[in-house]
Amino acid sequence: MIVCNRCGKKNDEVARSCESCGRKLQSSHRPAPVEDSSNWLLSSFRHGGIDPRARVSLQRMIEAWAYVAVLGGVGITCLVYEVWWPLYPAVGALGLAVWLRRI
Ligand SMILES: [Zn+2]
């Protein structure tokens, strides 16, 4: 339902102009404000809206991904240079770290 700005006549949703006065109608439906979903994490951190348990699990997750990234980096480096010895201490150290952190 679109209400005419000039005469107040209720027009059909699909109507382009007012049935009564002919005024060009604008849809009353404004596009809903787009939720910035990419920013919700940052903003919830900023406002402290995230509860501590979720924060801890998030930190754990980030830490786990950091280990994976380090391992991946070492692995790629080994692939590129075709030397495999750095892989073993890296895996050992990461395994120890993961075990100590009990991820
Ligand atoms: Zn009208």
Q: CA 70 to CA 10: how far, in whole Å?
A: 64
* DSSP run (H or E) holding 70: helix 52-81
Question: Quick one: pLDDT at residue 101?
Answer: 76
Cα dihedral across residues 23, 28, 29, 32: positive or negative: positive
Distance, CA of 93 to CA of 42 (rounded, Å): 31
Ligand 1 centre from 23 Cα, in Å? 5
Q: What pLDDT is attached to residue 40?
A: 56
CA angle 82/77/99 to nearest 5° reads 115
Taking the centre of ligand 1 as the mean of its atom positions, its distance from the CA of residue 10, in whole angstroms, is 8
* Annotated domain spans of the chain: 2-28+50-101
pLDDT confidence of residue 9: 92
Q: How far is the CA of 50 from the centre of ligand 1 (A)?
A: 49
- The structure's pTM equals 0.37
Separation of CA 32 and ligand 1 centre (Å): 25
Kindly list the averaged pLDDT for each block of 10 residues, start to end, along the chain of length 103: 90 90 75 55 58 82 88 86 80 83 68
Q: Ligand 1: distance of its center to the CA of 13 in Å?
A: 14
